[in-house]
Copies of this chain bind each other. A is one copy, B any other.
Amino acid sequence: MNEAMQRFTKSADVLFLMLGAVMIFSMHAGFAFLEVGTVRKKNQVNALVKIIADWGMSTVVYFLIGFPIAYGIHFWMNAGSLMDLINGRLAVGGRGFDLVRCFFLLSFAACVPAIISGGVAERMKFWPQFFAGAIGAGLIYPLFESISWGRHAFAQCWLMQTFGATFHDYAGSVVVHSMGGWLALPAIILLGQRIGRFRDGKSQAIPISNLPFLALGSWVLAIGWFGFNVMSAQKLEAISGLVAVNSLFAMVGGILAGLVFSKRDPGFIHNGALAGLIAICAGSDVVHPYGAFIIGAIASVLFITLYNIEANVFKIDDVLGVVPLHGVCGTWGGVAAGIFGKTILGGLGGVSLRAQIFGSCAALVYAVAAGTILYAVLKNTVGLRLSEKDELVGADIAIHNISAYPEDMMTP
């Protein structure tokens, strides 16, 4: 490759990752509106502020702490990037590729607090939520990332030796989504149910506020998701049309299964699209499109079933259903890559079901353990929960001193 071509390729890679980073950034607007639509009106402002504040905080902690944990100060050093960054040459020489890559990877890390936010909605104190999110995005997530994708490849080496294949997670079913979903589980349990969610041990559904906003959130997430999955190639030359089409098919599997299985329930259909997308991340580069469809359809059914079991059997008040959605479907996606990635099922092969099960379960155990410690410490020090009065009045007035629709609050 000649020099002009090399320069051009580098520029194209910067554009490629920049578009990916911005598409994933846009997904955070989706997280925000998914929560706004699902919570009651008195907690909508809180949903909006949590998501944007968590994005801001995640940026800081991931650049300063998370990225060095996962990819190492050595990475920066070796690439000459840290020095370049400091004296500003970075933007000129390599067109700032390493900086944009960091932005791209941050946008994954920031999903962790955004996922948890939906589970603990409507009753959690602001600053503990904010602080726990920082630990999640800056410490808990990058540690697992460093083992799966980053510099601490010892686990991957061991899996390769033991099962003949590393743990395969192309775009983060397990590393990102299941991490967020399973971290949320102890948080939700330690936080306890919302007032009025269960009466005499019986589930009393709390009506959601706004289905169009919920749907808007789902659409924004689904659109941005193509950046999440396709740009995980990280270089334009490595782009795979298969990843795009598998994302499409898994999403469609999730939509159609949700449509039938939920008897046309709008919440389950719009979340079913997300269930499919969560489950396909891991295997999107190795499974057949028909496999992707099945993975997505199963994810959607798993979500609906476990959402109901979580609430009605375990009495866990997971407002947006993030544990069955991101936790269960993420774990399912990791395992599914080991099933549908096999050549016998039309996949590209090179995956080990056992390595997938091992990796997916390791993430689950790690996340639940880390989350339990984190939220238990917070509960026993600063406390997690709004006062009963604040919860009844709503997080918007209690925390942000304003409601979502101030004009409507006026007495004429």
Q: A-side interface residues toward B, CB under 8 Å? A: 1, 4-5, 7-9, 11-12, 14-19, 21-22, 25-26, 28-29, 32-33, 36, 40-41, 44-45, 48-49, 52-53, 55-57, 59-60, 63, 85-92, 94-100, 102-103, 126, 207-213, 215-216, 219-220, 222-223, 226, 230, 236-245, 248-249, 251-252, 255-256, 259, 263-267, 269-270, 273, 285-286, 288-289, 293, 343, 346-349, 399-410
Contact = CB atoms under 8 A, between A and B. Distances in A.
A interface, over-half SS: helix
**Top 4 A-B residue pairs of the complex, sorted by shortest distance between their CB atoms:** A96-B241, A91-B242, A207-B406, A56-B255
Q: How many copies does the complex hold?
A: 3
A21 B90 contact: no
A308 B106 CA distance: 34
A352 B403 CA distance: 46
Nearest to A97: B241
A56 B216 contact: no
Nearest to A237: B11
30 contacts: A7-B237, A8-B12, A11-B238, A41-B407, A48-B215, A49-B259, A52-B270, A53-B255, A53-B269, A55-B252, A56-B252, A56-B255, A59-B248, A59-B252, A85-B288, A86-B346, A88-B343, A88-B347, A89-B348, A100-B241, A100-B245, A102-B245, A207-B407, A209-B405, A209-B408, A211-B406, A264-B399, A264-B400, A264-B401, A266-B400
A299 to B, nearest CB: 14
Contacts of A407: 40-41, 207-210
B404 A210 contact: yes
